C-alpha cells in the first residue's frame, strides 16, 4: 500500500492519536496528519513519531482539512481516516482493491451483516438514514451511509471536483459532485469501533441543518 496516503484530520486528539498511530505502524502506507497550527497539545503528543508527515491547515474546518490533505498528498490513492481510532484500518486493503476500477470507495456501517457501529447514537443513525435517503432520491447516489467520511479514492479523480465546503457539508458535497461529474464509486461494509479518545466534533442539529441546505442548493443547481 505504498501508493496510498492516509489523510488524518486532527483537532484536539492528543489522547487518541498517539495510540492510533501505533496501530497504523503495521500498514505500509504514508500517513499525513492534517492539523490546525494552534493545536499545540496534539502536536506535542506525536512529536516522537518520525514516520508521519504533519501538514498544518491553511484554513480551519473539517472540510478544509480534507480538501487540503488530499490535494497535498503525493500518492496515487488517498484515504480519509479519523484520528479517534473509530475507523478500522483493516478495511483499507479491500477498499484499495475495489478502487482499482473505481474513482472512490465509501465505507458503510449500514451494509449488513458485516457493517455496524459501536459509536453511533440514535440521533446520528436517524440522520444518516435520512440524508442517505435524500441523496439517493435526489441524486441517484446509491450510497447507504452518506455522512460517513471513511473514504478511499484516486487523487486524480478528486482533482476533477471543485469541492469548497469548509465544514461537515463536505460529506454530501463530495459524493454529489462526484455523481454529477460521472465518476464511478461504490460502498463497502465497515464496522465502526468505539473511539479511543476524544469527543464527537459534530453538532447534530446545527450541522444537520447546514447539510440539508447544502443538498437543496446542489439539487437546485442541477
Residue 222's pLDDT is 65
Residue 203's pLDDT is 83
| Ranges in the chain, pLDDT < 70 | 222
Residue 138, judged by CB atoms within 10 A of its CB (0-12, 13-18, 19+), counts as: middle
Q: Which domains does the chain have, with CATH numbers?
A: 4-220 (3.90.550.10)
Question: C-alpha angle 50/22/71, rounded to 5°?
Answer: 60
Percent of the residues in the chain that have a pLDDT greater than 90, as a whole number: 88
Work out the angle between the directed axes of helices 170-180 and 62-72 (0-180°, nearest 10): 50
Residue 221's pLDDT is 84
Residue 200's pLDDT is 74
Residue 101's pLDDT is 96
Residue 199's pLDDT is 73
pLDDT in tens, 56-76: 999 999 999 999 999 999 999
Amino acid at each position: 500500500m505504498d501508493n496510498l496516503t492516509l489523510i488524518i484530520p486532527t483537532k484536539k486528539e492528543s489522547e487518541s492519536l498517539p495510540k492510533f498511530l501505533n496501530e497504523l505502524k503495521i500498514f505500509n502506507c504514508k500517513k499525513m496528519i492534517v492539523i490546525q497550527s494552534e493545536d499545540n497539545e496534539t502536536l506535542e503528543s506525536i512529536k516522537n513519531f518520525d514516520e508521519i508527515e504533519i501538514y498544518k491547515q491553511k484554513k480551519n474546518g473539517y472540510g478544509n482539512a480534507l480538501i487540503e490533505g488530499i490535494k497535498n498528498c503525493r500518492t496515487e490513492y488517498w484515504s480519509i481516516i479519523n484520528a479517534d481510532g473509530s475507523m478500522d484500518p483493516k478495511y483499507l486493503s479491500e477498499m484499495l482493491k475495489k478502487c482499482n476500477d473505481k474513482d472512490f470507495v465509501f465505507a458503510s456501517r449500514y451494509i449488513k451483516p458485516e457493517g455496524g457501529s459501536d459509536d453511533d447514537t440514535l440521533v446520528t443513525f436517524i440522520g444518516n438514514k435520512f440524508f442517505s435517503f435524500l441523496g439517493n432520491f435526489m441524486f441517484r447516489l446509491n450510497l447507504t451511509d452518506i455522512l460517513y467520511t471513511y473514504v478511499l479514492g484516486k487523487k486524480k479523480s478528486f482533482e476533477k471536483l471543485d469541492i469548497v465546503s469548509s465544514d461537515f457539508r463536505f460529506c454530501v458535497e463530495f459524493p454529489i459532485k462526484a455523481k454529477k461529474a460521472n465518476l464511478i464509486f461504490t460502498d463497502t461494509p465497515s464496522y465502526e469501533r468505539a473511539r479511543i479518545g476524544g469527543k464527537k466534533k459534530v453538532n447534530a442539529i446545527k450541522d444537520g441543518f447546514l447539510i440539508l441546505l447544502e443538498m437543496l442548493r446542489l439539487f437546485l443547481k442541477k
